[in-house]
Structure 1
């Protein structure tokens, strides 16, 4: 004896919202697993908590995702039969989790948060010119290139050390001095080169790895393919990571 069509569960407009919610939730869960490849416990909340400690984007959506996890548990674990739900997520809730899934599936790239205009100098750049640039711009780190090859990173700290060592009878003479004179006063900065297509999750992993090794990462220089032999397209410092919060809030 065949069951009538009335006995078959159907997808109603309301239940479609629940289906869409579940699809977006599963997409986010998959992304969290990818962000924590060495985590044996793949429970959603465990992955969410771990990811929020490392990634600012996850921090920004942590509260929403925690609430969505509660709703998802109710939808899935209290389901009595296929395509039926004890509650239907509100349209705004579904659209919000879908937007989060979209953001995490295609996160911003390093260029989205970088200082796009990179002021680079060479070894023969007069110190007077460098000091003028520092005084008239908001930049305080300058990559030094010679014949298209990265040499070292200039920082305000290095310039200050040179000035302290160069005081003579209360005066500092910069005439005839060039960027090359700063090299001995710049410590071996921890500088990393990355390709322009790198996303911010990968970038934050680099900062986390540097932190774990107790090596401060002074700057991340972005080039086409991540080579120090290529022209800089942008530069990222730890301060620029704050821009991630602004990107998420705009979305």
Structure 2
């Protein structure tokens, strides 16, 4: 049976190896590597405080060994479980594929608005990619529809629900979405939502294609609610 200190040091060493593989300067110490990489790696940014505390605990265990068979203190079970979880997240991060790969209901820009309203009513879906043939045009949301209806009822011109989706789309924010690739990690997706909020822009969805561009086949969609559930 492995002792907690053995499990802890094994996980720590694997994390350290993973950090070095991400760095140009391999000679950086563990804590310095964490501080450098947190700027570019969403998973490390998420666990920075934990990793820095693990570095202190690792030093205490290694430097205070009385001999190779005895350590001055054994880490608590919760600490060992935590570092092993983080090690797995770093070395085998959860990807948006396959978690969020699914059929996405999309519409053509000339479809009538009532097509979207019918889906909202029966399926509860509220975010819809819009295309012109194979060319992506934008993302229509239930909030955008509500704002459009509020404006349209003031003019009261023509049948509302026969209006083309493109007219509704023109009132949406042009930057309410981003495309990501199938290789994007869940933490990277979460960080994209966070960064946009920090920039004063709330994303409605991340759209998944193979290469992360609007030119690829739409394979899935991630909303901020999806991320919160994960």
> Does the 8 A contact of 1:113 with 1:243 survive in 2?
no
How far apart are residue 129 of structure 1 and its match? 1.4
Shift of 1:165: 2.4
Unaligned ranges ≥5, structure 2: none
Cα-to-partner distance string for 1:143-180 (whole Å, 9 max, x where unaligned): 10122111011011221122122226879723532212
Q: CA deviation at 1:71?
A: 4.6
Offset at 1:192?
1.3
Q: Deviations over 1:183-242 (max 9, x none)?
A: 321121332111112112322332343234333323210011112112211111222211
Q: CA-atom RMSD, angstroms?
A: 3.9
Assess if the C-alpha contact under 8 Å between 2:43 and 2:89 holds in 1: no
Count of equivalent residues: 225
Counterpart residue number, 1:27: 14
Matching residue of 2:192: 206
Contact 1:114 1:235 in 2 (8 A): yes
For 1:87 and 1:187, how far apart are their aligned partners in 2?
Answer: 56
Query: Any residues of structure 2 matched to 1:65-84 within 5 Å, and which?
Result: 71-82=57-68, 84=70
CA distance in 1 between partners of 2:45 and 2:145 (Å): 35
Distance in 2 (CA, whole Å) between partners of 1:159 and 1:101 is 44
- Counterpart of 1:160 in structure 2 is 146
Mark the CA change 1:202 to 1:105 in structure 2 (over 3 Å): closer, same or farther.
same
- Counterpart of 1:43 in structure 2 is 31
Cα 1:33–1:219 change in 2 (3 A) is: farther
| Contiguous gaps of at least 5 residues in structure 1 | 1-12, 245-251
Q: What residue number does 1:9 align with?
A: none
Q: Offset of 1:131 from its aligned partner?
A: 0.8
Alignment match, 2:116: 130
Aligned partner of residue 217 in structure 1, secondary structure: coil
Confirm or deny: 8 A CA contact 1:148 1:230 kept in the other structure.
no
* Alignment partner of 1:182 is 2:168: yes
* TM-score between the two structures when normalised by the length of structure 1: 0.69
The normalised TM-score by structure 2 is: 0.75
